[in-house]
A = this chain, B = another copy of it.
């Protein structure tokens, strides 16, 4: 009998983490893509692409976690867990990269002297970057909890 690690795949803590990731990624995507001209800056396109990858990934895993909690039968196959850990890790690195790029470009547009960025548009970019950072943080948490469980299997 393997002891339960809170936050690993198939627990209610993991379900909460996944829901949070889905929520923050969707918020980041919405704040970014409701702005009119995000496609004219590379980092904003990158953020939209990565959020388009993170949302289905987190949502699928949230469904799996919800199912596991309902039937009280946590997932315990090392192969699947490795895929989840590696996927989480890759997506968290990409999310961090996108969030940093977006934040720095938005901050530059916000403070640049000759900038023609309307304040409400620029603050939306910054909010989007902040949401991406929160999503990164939760994604990293999931990755670490699952990595912690991995050697005991």
Contact = CB atoms under 8 A, between A and B. Distances in A.
A42 interface: yes
Given A96-B93, A97-B96, A104 B105 contact: yes
Interface in A62-117: 93, 96-98, 100-105, 107-108, 114
Given A100-B97, A100-B101, A101-B103, A108 B41 contact: yes
Copies in the complex: 2
Contacts of A103: 101
Given A96-B96, A96-B97, A100-B100, A108 B107 contact: no
A151 interface: yes
- Chain A interface residue count: which class? 10 to 19
Contacts of A141: none
Tell me the interface secondary structure of chain A in the complex: helix
A98 B103 CA distance: 11
Given A96-B93, A96-B97, A104 B42 contact: yes
A43 interface: yes
A41 B105 CA distance: 11
A106 to B, nearest CB: 10
Of the candidates A97, A98, A103, the one having the most CB atoms from chain B within 10 angstroms of its own CB is A97
Nearest to A43: B104
Contacts of A101: 100-101, 103-104
Contacts of A105: 104-105, 108
Interface of A: 41-43, 93, 96-98, 100-105, 107-108, 114, 151
